[in-house]
Amino acid sequence: MTTTYNAMELMICVASRELEDGSTLAVGTGAPCAAAMLAQRLNSPNLSILFEAGSVSPQLPEMPISVGDSRASHKAVMVSTMGAIMETCQRGYVDYTFLGGAQIDMYGNLNSTFIGGTHQKPKVRFPGSGGANDFGSFCWKMMVLTVQDARRFVEKCEFITTPGWLSGGNSRYEAGLPEGTGPYKVFTNMAVMDFEPESRRMRIISINPGYSVKDVQDNCGFELLKAPKITETLPPTEIELKILREEVDPHRYVIGR
Protein backbone atom coordinates (compact mmCIF):
# COMPACT_ATOMS: atom_id res chain seq x y z
CA MET A 1 0.00 0.00 0.00
CA THR A 2 1.30 3.42 -0.94
CA THR A 3 0.53 6.37 1.26
CA THR A 4 0.26 9.68 -0.56
CA TYR A 5 1.29 12.94 1.03
CA ASN A 6 2.40 16.35 -0.12
CA ALA A 7 5.74 18.08 0.38
CA MET A 8 4.59 20.10 3.39
CA GLU A 9 3.21 17.01 5.12
CA LEU A 10 6.47 15.20 4.53
CA MET A 11 8.60 18.02 5.93
CA ILE A 12 6.44 18.38 9.01
CA CYS A 13 6.43 14.65 9.75
CA VAL A 14 10.18 14.23 9.28
CA ALA A 15 11.01 17.33 11.32
CA SER A 16 8.69 16.33 14.14
CA ARG A 17 10.70 13.17 14.76
CA GLU A 18 13.64 15.23 15.97
CA LEU A 19 11.71 16.52 18.96
CA GLU A 20 12.32 13.93 21.63
CA ASP A 21 10.18 13.67 24.72
CA GLY A 22 11.10 15.97 27.57
CA SER A 23 12.83 18.53 25.40
CA THR A 24 12.07 22.23 25.06
CA LEU A 25 11.37 24.09 21.86
CA ALA A 26 11.07 27.77 20.99
CA VAL A 27 8.98 28.12 17.88
CA GLY A 28 6.85 30.38 15.70
CA THR A 29 3.62 29.77 13.82
CA GLY A 30 3.12 27.65 10.71
CA ALA A 31 4.88 24.42 9.77
CA PRO A 32 7.28 24.33 12.75
CA CYS A 33 4.36 24.67 15.12
CA ALA A 34 2.58 21.84 13.30
CA ALA A 35 5.70 19.68 13.71
CA ALA A 36 5.72 20.39 17.43
CA MET A 37 2.02 19.62 17.80
CA LEU A 38 2.46 16.37 15.91
CA ALA A 39 5.40 15.36 18.10
CA GLN A 40 3.38 16.08 21.24
CA ARG A 41 0.53 13.89 20.04
CA LEU A 42 2.77 10.99 19.02
CA ASN A 43 6.01 10.35 20.83
CA SER A 44 6.71 13.45 22.89
CA PRO A 45 3.81 14.29 25.19
CA ASN A 46 6.34 16.02 27.44
CA LEU A 47 7.66 18.30 24.70
CA SER A 48 7.52 21.80 26.13
CA ILE A 49 6.77 24.60 23.66
CA LEU A 50 7.78 28.19 24.39
CA PHE A 51 6.42 31.11 22.39
CA GLU A 52 8.27 34.41 22.38
CA ALA A 53 5.16 36.38 23.34
CA GLY A 54 5.29 34.77 26.79
CA SER A 55 3.56 31.37 26.78
CA VAL A 56 5.20 28.30 28.36
CA SER A 57 4.11 24.69 27.70
CA PRO A 58 0.64 25.32 26.28
CA GLN A 59 -1.68 22.52 25.22
CA LEU A 60 -2.55 23.78 21.75
CA PRO A 61 -6.16 23.13 20.83
CA GLU A 62 -5.55 24.17 17.21
CA MET A 63 -2.93 25.99 15.14
CA PRO A 64 -2.28 29.49 16.50
CA ILE A 65 -2.41 32.32 13.94
CA SER A 66 -0.05 34.32 16.12
CA VAL A 67 2.37 33.12 18.76
CA GLY A 68 0.75 35.76 20.96
CA ASP A 69 -2.87 34.74 20.44
CA SER A 70 -4.97 32.96 23.00
CA ARG A 71 -4.55 29.60 21.24
CA ALA A 72 -0.82 29.88 21.85
CA SER A 73 -1.31 30.15 25.60
CA HIS A 74 -4.19 27.72 25.91
CA LYS A 75 -3.76 25.69 29.10
CA ALA A 76 -0.16 26.85 29.37
CA VAL A 77 1.64 26.25 32.66
CA MET A 78 2.65 29.90 32.66
CA VAL A 79 2.18 33.05 30.63
CA SER A 80 4.84 35.65 31.10
CA THR A 81 6.86 38.17 29.15
CA MET A 82 9.02 38.12 26.06
CA GLY A 83 11.96 38.88 28.31
CA ALA A 84 11.26 35.81 30.43
CA ILE A 85 11.07 33.57 27.36
CA MET A 86 14.17 34.97 25.67
CA GLU A 87 16.10 34.83 28.93
CA THR A 88 15.10 31.20 29.32
CA CYS A 89 16.69 30.62 25.91
CA GLN A 90 19.72 32.77 26.71
CA ARG A 91 20.16 30.90 30.01
CA GLY A 92 20.47 27.60 28.17
CA TYR A 93 17.15 25.93 28.96
CA VAL A 94 15.86 25.59 25.40
CA ASP A 95 16.96 22.67 23.26
CA TYR A 96 15.50 23.41 19.84
CA THR A 97 14.23 26.10 17.58
CA PHE A 98 12.84 26.00 14.06
CA LEU A 99 13.49 28.98 11.83
CA GLY A 100 13.00 29.99 8.21
CA GLY A 101 13.92 32.86 5.95
CA ALA A 102 13.99 34.26 2.45
CA GLN A 103 17.58 33.06 2.05
CA ILE A 104 19.79 30.42 3.67
CA ASP A 105 23.46 29.92 2.89
CA MET A 106 25.86 26.98 3.15
CA TYR A 107 26.62 27.80 6.79
CA GLY A 108 22.97 27.97 7.77
CA ASN A 109 22.91 31.74 8.07
CA LEU A 110 19.44 33.14 7.44
CA ASN A 111 18.17 36.31 5.77
CA SER A 112 14.69 37.55 6.65
CA THR A 113 15.41 41.30 6.36
CA PHE A 114 15.60 42.39 2.72
CA ILE A 115 16.61 41.39 -0.80
CA GLY A 116 17.83 43.80 -3.48
CA GLY A 117 18.51 47.50 -3.28
CA THR A 118 20.05 48.83 -0.08
CA HIS A 119 19.15 48.45 3.54
CA GLN A 120 17.65 51.94 3.65
CA LYS A 121 15.89 51.52 0.29
CA PRO A 122 15.34 47.82 -0.22
CA LYS A 123 13.80 46.24 -3.29
CA VAL A 124 11.92 43.73 -1.17
CA ARG A 125 11.52 44.28 2.54
CA PHE A 126 10.82 41.34 4.88
CA PRO A 127 9.93 41.43 8.58
CA GLY A 128 13.50 41.43 9.89
CA SER A 129 14.65 39.30 12.77
CA GLY A 130 11.56 39.14 14.94
CA GLY A 131 12.70 36.56 17.46
CA ALA A 132 14.76 34.62 14.91
CA ASN A 133 18.18 36.10 15.66
CA ASP A 134 17.49 35.58 19.38
CA PHE A 135 16.38 31.95 19.07
CA GLY A 136 19.15 31.23 16.57
CA SER A 137 21.72 32.74 18.94
CA PHE A 138 20.51 31.13 22.18
CA CYS A 139 18.84 27.76 21.54
CA TRP A 140 21.09 24.71 21.53
CA LYS A 141 20.07 23.34 18.16
CA MET A 142 18.68 25.48 15.38
CA MET A 143 16.70 23.72 12.66
CA VAL A 144 15.29 25.01 9.40
CA LEU A 145 12.22 23.78 7.57
CA THR A 146 11.90 25.16 4.04
CA VAL A 147 11.34 24.36 0.38
CA GLN A 148 14.41 23.34 -1.65
CA ASP A 149 14.93 26.13 -4.17
CA ALA A 150 18.12 27.59 -5.66
CA ARG A 151 16.87 31.16 -5.09
CA ARG A 152 16.47 30.39 -1.42
CA PHE A 153 19.61 28.27 -0.91
CA VAL A 154 22.19 30.88 -1.86
CA GLU A 155 25.99 31.01 -1.86
CA LYS A 156 25.92 34.02 0.44
CA CYS A 157 22.99 35.71 2.15
CA GLU A 158 22.59 39.33 1.06
CA PHE A 159 22.02 40.11 4.72
CA ILE A 160 22.62 37.83 7.70
CA THR A 161 19.61 38.38 9.91
CA THR A 162 20.14 35.30 12.05
CA PRO A 163 23.48 33.63 12.73
CA GLY A 164 24.17 30.14 11.49
CA TRP A 165 27.77 28.96 11.51
CA LEU A 166 28.69 32.43 10.11
CA SER A 167 31.77 31.83 7.93
CA GLY A 168 32.22 28.26 9.14
CA GLY A 169 34.85 26.60 11.30
CA ASN A 170 34.97 28.19 14.72
CA SER A 171 33.71 31.61 13.55
CA ARG A 172 30.38 31.37 15.38
CA TYR A 173 32.00 30.98 18.77
CA GLU A 174 34.70 33.51 17.96
CA ALA A 175 31.91 36.03 17.40
CA GLY A 176 30.89 35.38 21.01
CA LEU A 177 27.76 33.32 20.48
CA PRO A 178 27.05 30.83 23.29
CA GLU A 179 29.25 27.75 23.30
CA GLY A 180 27.69 24.60 21.92
CA THR A 181 24.88 26.29 20.00
CA GLY A 182 24.43 26.31 16.22
CA PRO A 183 22.54 25.09 13.18
CA TYR A 184 21.71 21.41 13.44
CA LYS A 185 19.51 20.21 10.60
CA VAL A 186 17.68 21.49 7.55
CA PHE A 187 14.50 19.82 6.33
CA THR A 188 13.29 20.41 2.78
CA ASN A 189 10.84 18.72 0.49
CA MET A 190 13.76 16.87 -1.10
CA ALA A 191 16.23 16.05 1.64
CA VAL A 192 17.55 16.34 5.15
CA MET A 193 20.85 18.15 5.63
CA ASP A 194 23.17 18.64 8.59
CA PHE A 195 26.47 20.53 8.88
CA GLU A 196 29.89 18.90 8.54
CA PRO A 197 31.53 19.21 11.98
CA GLU A 198 34.83 20.82 10.91
CA SER A 199 33.97 23.17 8.06
CA ARG A 200 30.37 23.64 9.31
CA ARG A 201 29.18 23.46 5.70
CA MET A 202 25.77 22.08 4.85
CA ARG A 203 25.73 18.42 3.78
CA ILE A 204 23.13 15.96 2.62
CA ILE A 205 22.48 13.15 5.09
CA SER A 206 19.19 11.78 3.84
CA ILE A 207 17.19 11.95 0.59
CA ASN A 208 13.43 12.05 0.61
CA PRO A 209 11.49 9.38 -1.34
CA GLY A 210 11.25 10.24 -5.03
CA TYR A 211 14.28 12.55 -5.13
CA SER A 212 17.96 12.09 -5.93
CA VAL A 213 21.12 13.76 -4.71
CA LYS A 214 21.22 15.48 -8.09
CA ASP A 215 17.72 16.90 -7.61
CA VAL A 216 18.79 18.40 -4.32
CA GLN A 217 22.03 19.85 -5.73
CA ASP A 218 20.20 21.22 -8.78
CA ASN A 219 17.87 23.12 -6.47
CA CYS A 220 20.63 24.55 -4.33
CA GLY A 221 22.68 27.68 -5.11
CA PHE A 222 25.87 26.33 -3.57
CA GLU A 223 27.76 23.06 -3.48
CA LEU A 224 26.37 20.69 -0.89
CA LEU A 225 28.65 18.28 0.95
CA LYS A 226 27.60 14.67 1.17
CA ALA A 227 27.64 12.54 4.28
CA PRO A 228 29.72 9.33 4.09
CA LYS A 229 26.47 7.38 4.01
CA ILE A 230 23.36 9.07 2.65
CA THR A 231 20.20 7.31 3.79
CA GLU A 232 16.66 7.42 2.46
CA THR A 233 14.29 9.49 4.55
CA LEU A 234 11.56 7.41 6.13
CA PRO A 235 8.33 8.69 4.58
CA PRO A 236 5.42 9.83 6.74
CA THR A 237 3.66 6.97 8.43
CA GLU A 238 -0.07 6.36 8.35
CA ILE A 239 -0.42 7.40 11.94
CA GLU A 240 1.65 10.57 11.48
CA LEU A 241 -0.50 11.65 8.55
CA LYS A 242 -3.73 10.77 10.31
CA ILE A 243 -2.89 12.85 13.37
CA LEU A 244 -1.44 15.68 11.33
CA ARG A 245 -4.54 15.88 9.13
CA GLU A 246 -7.22 15.19 11.69
CA GLU A 247 -5.92 16.75 14.88
CA VAL A 248 -3.06 19.13 14.17
CA ASP A 249 -4.27 20.95 11.08
CA PRO A 250 -7.83 19.92 10.22
CA HIS A 251 -8.44 23.21 8.40
CA ARG A 252 -5.30 22.61 6.27
CA TYR A 253 -3.93 26.08 7.12
CA VAL A 254 -0.40 24.78 6.80
CA ILE A 255 -0.56 21.45 5.00
CA GLY A 256 -2.85 22.91 2.36
CA ARG A 257 -0.20 25.36 1.18
Partner 1 sequence: MDIIRKGRGELFTDPDPDHARAFFQKKSRKMVNKSMTLAKAIETFVHDGEYFALGGFGANRTPIAACHEMLRQRRKNMGFCGHTSTHDFEILCAGEVFDRVDAGYIVGLEARGLSPCARRYMQTGKVKVTEWTNYSISARLRAAAMGVPFIPTRNLLGTDTFECSAAKIIECPYTGKKLALHPALYPDVGIIHVHESDVYGNVRVRGILKSDNDLARASKRVIVTCERLITNEEIRRDPTETTFPYFLVDAVCEVPYGGYPGTMAYEYFSDEEHLREWLKAEEDPDVFKDFLQRNIYDCKDHHEYINKNGGMEKMLQLRTIEHLLHKEGKR
Active site residue 158: no
**Contact positions with partner 1 (CB under 8 A) in 105-124:** 109, 113, 117, 119-124
Indicate whether 129 belongs to the interface with partner 1 (CB under 8 A).
Answer: yes
Residue 83: how many other CB atoms lie within 10 Å? 10
Indicate whether 231 belongs to the interface with partner 1 (CB under 8 A).
Answer: no
Indicate whether 177 belongs to the interface with partner 1 (CB under 8 A).
Answer: yes
140 closest CA partner among 92, 177, 77: 92
Q: Which of 2, 180, 198, 228 touches partner 1 (CB under 8 A)?
A: 180
Q: Which residues pair with 195 in a beta bridge?
A: 202
How many residues line the site for partner 1 (CB under 8 A)? 84
**Contact positions with partner 1 (CB under 8 A) in 8-27:** 21-24
12 exposure class (CB count in 10 Å sphere: 0-12, 13-18, 19+): buried
222 exposure class (CB count in 10 Å sphere: 0-12, 13-18, 19+): middle
Nearer to partner 1 by C-beta: 123 or 151? Answer: 123
**Contact positions with partner 1 (CB under 8 A) in 81-100:** 81-83, 86-93, 95
Q: Which of 162, 208, 217, 219 touches partner 1 (CB under 8 A)?
A: 162
Separation CA 116–CA 148 (nearest Å): 21
Q: How far is the CB of 44 from partner 1 (least distance, A)?
A: 10
Separation CA 163–CA 74 (nearest Å): 31
Q: Which of 9, 18, 52, 158 is catalytic?
A: 52
Query: What positions carry a catalytic annotation?
Result: 52
